[in-house]
């Protein structure tokens, strides 16, 4: 087994690290204090620079204008970008657009590619994803209230969505709606490309999350969809395959999130480490001299390294054996990495004292914003159930075969 990173790819990672340090992190402070609005113009200029450097769309194949990286390689890039809340957006690999790009590449027909996919890949527009509903459990997306009823050449959509991240200012929404209420649970819903200027779909509010309503890409929209009429050709993928598309969207997406969380953890670790060296708790005695603080460093380092290896292994398993075969690995990293990140961020906040809960470092943003990682793309409990059930089922089958159960 060889853990080394090829020199050429390491050079790409180094270039990205330098760009993040020199160009992206310097504007982070204004984002932390004021959200997207004060930094939007500077972020847009940085996006053009990234394009010119050939680093645009690191997660997308070359034929669609991306860097053509493997999932493992993109994972490593994602860890660099995740060190700053704006990193993924600057490189056009941010959620929810990245997931939407993936299903558009796979399922969009030529007209949908022209109208929705190409401008999204070019970074000219943003999108959102409308699956979760306030009245139904998002953890069981085979059960939802939004319906799409065929009427002539159109579908008429009615429903209520929330947590559509980035809906504020998005050009279209990928809406999941029930098209066959009497079908098998996993074949009931389909996906639709709904332009946000279609009469009947409105962003009712940006949902306040941990004290912040956010704006633009950094927000979570509540959508009211009332008699919203879209042409039948706006269905994305086959009828009844909404659930399947949602699963396909989430598979590599979980690697993307987990490696971003490794980046969040690494940055928090760096901030923790430097603060321990600089902050004196008595004249000439930096916090780093205290054994409690040394424990924070050692524990955080071990936890981040372990999680990084697990996530890269899961990415490797997906590449080698496919998403279905790697289901267990993906569930393991989803809940493990999200929790690991919260431990590391929490320690870094603790070490900073009062400063840790201010918005003068990214730590409090990470703590507020990334807590949701234990909920979206499958809550912790659902992933733990997936893993535990499989392990127990395998062992039970073995024991039964041997006549021991």
Ligand X SMILES: Cc1cc2nc3c(=O)[nH]c(=O)nc-3n(C[C@H](O)[C@H](O)[C@H](O)COP(=O)(O)OP(=O)(O)OC[C@H]3O[C@@H](n4cnc5c(N)ncnc54)[C@H](O)[C@@H]3O)c2cc1C
Binding site for ligand X (CB under 6 A): 96, 129-132, 137-139, 163-165, 220, 372, 375-376, 379, 381-382, 385
Q: How far is the CB of 308 from ligand X (least distance, A)?
A: 23
Q: How far is the CB of 157 from ligand X (least distance, A)?
A: 15
In Å, what is the CA distance from 253 to each residue of 94, 208, 377? Answer: 10, 24, 8
Closest residue by Cα to residue 154 from 221, 210, 232: 232
Contacts of 281 (CB under 8 A, 6+ apart): 287, 290
**Smaller CB separation from ligand X, 59 or 132:** 132
Query: Closest separation between CB of residue 255 and ligand X, Å?
Result: 17
Per the structure block, which two tokens stand in for 285? 């005695």
Cα distances (Å, whole numbers) of residue 228 to 147, 158, 160, 192, 368: 10, 7, 12, 11, 34
**CB of 72 or CB of 176, closer to ligand X:** 176
Q: Which is nearer to ligand X, 163 or 217 (CB)?
A: 163
Min dist CB 161 to ligand X, Å, is: 7
In whole angstroms, the minimum distance from the beta carbon of 217 to ligand X comes to 11
Quickly count: other Cβ atoms within 10 Å of residue 59's Cβ. 25
Closest residue to ligand X in the complex (CB): 138
Sign of the alpha-carbon dihedral angle for 378, 168, 173, 52: negative
Mention every residue, 6+ apart, whose C-beta is less than 8 A from residue 141.
131, 132, 176, 189, 243, 246
* Tokens of residue 117, six digits: 């996919």
Instruction: Give bridge partners of residue 158 from the DSSP assignment.
Output: 147
Select 288 or 363, whichever has its Cβ closest to ligand X. Answer: 363
Measured CA distances, 141 to 37, 67, 146, 147, 247 (Å): 33, 33, 11, 13, 10
- DSSP 3-state assignment of 93? coil
CB-wise, 352 or 383, nearer to ligand X? 383
Question: Which CB atom, from 106 or from 139, has the smaller least distance to ligand X?
Answer: 139
Task: Using alpha carbons, list the distances in angstroms from residue 276 to 124, 128, 294.
Answer: 43, 40, 9
User: 203 to each of 87, 104, 210, 212, how far by Cα in Å?
Assistant: 26, 23, 20, 17
CB of 205 to ligand X, least distance (A): 14
Q: How far is the CB of 126 from ligand X (least distance, A)?
A: 12
Helices (H), 201-326: 242-278, 291-321
Smallest distance, ligand X to C-beta of residue 5, A: 32
Q: How far is the CB of 402 from ligand X (least distance, A)?
A: 31
By beta-carbon proximity to ligand X, the closer residue of 352 and 374 is 374
Which residue in the block uniquely carries the two structure tokens 């050429």? 8
Query: Based on CB atoms, which residue is closest to ligand X, 385 or 399?
Result: 385
Length of the chain in residues, anyone? 405
- Of the two residues 21 and 381, which places its CB atom closer to ligand X in the complex? 381
C-beta of 279 vs 371, nearer to ligand X: 371
- Helix axis angle for 327-352 and 380-401, nearest 10°, is 140
Distance of closest approach, residue 139 Cβ to ligand X, in angstroms: 3
Minimum distance from residue 379 beta carbon to ligand X (Å): 3
**In this structure, what token pair is assigned to residue 111?**
């007209």
Please, which residue, 131 or 340, has the CB nearer to ligand X? 131
- Could you tell me the CA-to-CA distances from 378 to 196, 330, 336 in Å, in that order? 26, 11, 12
């Amino acid at each position: 087994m060889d853990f080394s990173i090829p020199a050429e790819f390491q050079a790409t990672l180094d270039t990205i690290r330098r760009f993040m340090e020199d160009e992206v992190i310097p504007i982070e402070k204004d984002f932390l204090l004021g959200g997207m609005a004060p930094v939007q113009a500077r972020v847009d200029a940085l996006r053009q620079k990234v394009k010119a450097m050939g680093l645009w769309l690191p997660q997308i194949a070359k034929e669609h204008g991306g860097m053509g990286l493997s999932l493992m390689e993109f994972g490593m890039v994602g860890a660099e970008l995740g060190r700053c809340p704006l990193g993924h957006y600057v490189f056009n690999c941010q959620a929810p657009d990245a997931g939407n790009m993936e299903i558009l590449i796979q399922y969009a027909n030529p007209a949908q590619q022209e109208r929705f996919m190409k401008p999204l890949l070019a970074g000219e527009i943003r999108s959102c994803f409308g699956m979760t509903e306030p009245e139904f459990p998002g953890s069981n997306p085979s059960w939802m209230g939004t319906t799409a009823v065929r009427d002539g050449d159109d579908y008429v959509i009615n429903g209520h969505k929330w947590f559509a991240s980035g809906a504020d200012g998005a050009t279209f929404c990928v809406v999941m709606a029930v098209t066959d209420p009497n079908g098998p649970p996993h074949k009931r819903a389909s996906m639709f490309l709904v332009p946000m200027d279609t009469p009947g779909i409105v962003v009712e509010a940006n949902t306040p999350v941990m004290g912040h309503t956010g704006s633009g890409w950094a927000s979570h929209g509540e959508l009211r969809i009332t008699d919203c009429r879209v042409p039948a050709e706006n269905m994305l993928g086959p009828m009844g395959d909404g659930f399947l598309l949602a699963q396909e969207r989430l598979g590599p997406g979980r690697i993307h999130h987990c490696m971003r969380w490794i980046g969040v953890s690494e940055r928090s670790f760096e901030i923790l480490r430097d603060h321990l060296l600089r902050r004196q708790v008595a004249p000439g005695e930096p916090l780093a001299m205290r054994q409690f603080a040394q424990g924070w460093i050692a524990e955080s380092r071990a936890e981040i390294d372990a999680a990084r290896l697990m996530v890269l292994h899961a990415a490797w398993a997906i590449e080698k054996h496919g998403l279905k075969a790697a289901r267990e690995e993906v569930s393991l990293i989803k809940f493990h990495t999200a929790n690991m990140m919260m431990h590391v961020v929490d320690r870094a906040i603790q070490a900073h004292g009062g400063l840790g809960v201010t918005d003068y470092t990214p730590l409090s943003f990470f703590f507020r914003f990334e807590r949701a990682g234990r909920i979206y793309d499958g809550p912790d409990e659902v992933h733990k159930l997936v893993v535990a059930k499989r392990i127990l089922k395998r062992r039970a089958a073995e024991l039964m075969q041997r006549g021991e159960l």
